[in-house]
Amino acid sequence: MKNQEVVFTGRFMIDGEHMVRSLLIDAAREHGYVVGSSVTRSTDFLIIGDTGRHGNTRKIKAATDLGVKVMTAQIFWHLL
């Protein structure tokens, strides 16, 4: 997965435990991902956590509009 770009949105729980966003970002970088801050045409994956009352965030809408693959933080973590 080297050089694929990921963007994160929401609060993250992994295996029932709250995970700090910076730990996910560091793990993604250690596995060769480029971490972006917003969804663009160059984004490969949007990693979503709990978006709370906001539901579909601006990033989720952008990913849908651009055809970016979306996966939960739980799945992403286990793929690393």
Global pTM reads 0.87
Separation between Cα atoms, residue 78 and residue 59, nearest integer Å: 22
How many domains is the chain partitioned into structurally?
A: 1
Confidence at 29, pLDDT banded by 50, 70, 90: very high
3-state SS class at 9: strand
CATH number for 49: 3.40.50.10190
The reported pLDDT for the residue numbered 60 is 92
**Stretch 63-79: mean pLDDT, rounded?**
94
Dihedral angle sign, alpha carbons of residues 26, 32, 38, 44: negative
Strands (E), the chain: 5-9, 12-14, 17-19, 34-36, 45-48, 69-72
pLDDT in tens, 3-25: 899 999 988 888 888 888 899 99
What pLDDT does 53 receive? 67
Q: Is the pLDDT confidence value at 26 over 70?
A: yes
> Higher-confidence residue: 79 or 54?
79
Range of the domain at 71: 5-79
